[in-house]
Amino acid sequence: MQIFLNIVYLIVGLALLIFGADFFVSGASALAKKMKIPSMIIGLTIVAIGTSMPELVVSVISAIKGNADISIGNVLGSNIMNIVLILGVVGTIGSIAISTVVLTDLLILTCLTFVFLIMCYTQKQFSRWEGTIALVLYLSYIAFAIVRNYAF
């Protein structure tokens, strides 16, 4: 009986996830159109933050409980999955246009990955000031993306 209940929970959760994702994307697209904001900005901010919230909660709880490895694994695993699996599935379904904007963002991502690696290797830990630097780098990137979309 417990296995059956777990299967039902899994199916219901998956269905809610699919419908919730559809509503989320539709709402974000409608918001972008109504506010005359480029879809790329909505994707880089609202959608990215919304889809990252579960990861943030897991990472914060694991850090509080002293399981920092889960936080790091969660972040790395999520990024690898997004880049390789998600882009792979989407690319298999249909082509993805790679513009100079996307190439610029990939270059920034690569550079920030190296900054993160340096932070991790300096003292074999990720300190509060390094977390603050990472947050400032993210906000700077968002500001850059907004300016780039409105300037060009």
Q: Tell me the pLDDT tens digit for each residue of 85-108.
A: 888 898 899 888 888 888 888 899
pLDDT at position 122: 78
CA-CA distance, 80 to 67, in Å (whole number)?
A: 20
Q: Are 56 and 75 in contact (CB under 8 A)?
A: no
Query: What pLDDT, on the 0 to 100 scale, is given for residue 136?
Result: 94
> 133: Cβ–Cβ under 8 A, 6 or more apart, which residues?
119
Provide the token pair at 69. 């490895």
pLDDT means per 10 residues, the chain with 152 residues, are 89 86 82 81 79 81 84 81 86 86 88 85 79 91 85 62
Q: Is the dihedral of CA 39, 44, 50, 54 positive or negative?
A: positive
Count of C-beta atoms within a 10 Å radius of residue 31: 13
Number of neighbouring beta carbons within 10 Å of residue 17: 10
pLDDT at 151: 66
pLDDT at residue 124, rounded to an integer: 72
